[in-house]
């Protein structure tokens, strides 16, 4: 059960990040320390490798 909750937690973290990033323009991304390319690369990773 703990393993399932861990997967859910990582999936939710990635989903929340994707939702937030999809609404940010490049200026806001830069303010939080990401470029558009970095954010897209991070989102291209499987959710179990998402930190």
DSSP 8-state class, residue 47: G
**Is the distance from CB of 50 to CB of 10 less than 8 angstroms?**
yes
Q: What is the pLDDT of residue 51?
A: 65
pTM: 0.66
Percent of the chain scored above 70 by pLDDT? 96
Reading the block at residue 42, the tokens are 């991070």
pLDDT band at 15 (very low <50, low <70, confident <90, very high): confident
pLDDT band at 27 (very low <50, low <70, confident <90, very high): very high
State the Cα–Cα distance between residues 19 and 40, nearest whole angstrom: 12
């Amino acid at each position: 059960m703990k393993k399932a909750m861990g997967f859910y937690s990582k999936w939710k973290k990635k989903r929340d990040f994707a939702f937030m990033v999809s609404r940010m323009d490049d200026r806001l991304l830069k303010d939080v320390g990401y470029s558009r390319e970095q954010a897209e690369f991070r989102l291209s990773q499987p959710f179990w490798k998402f930190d």
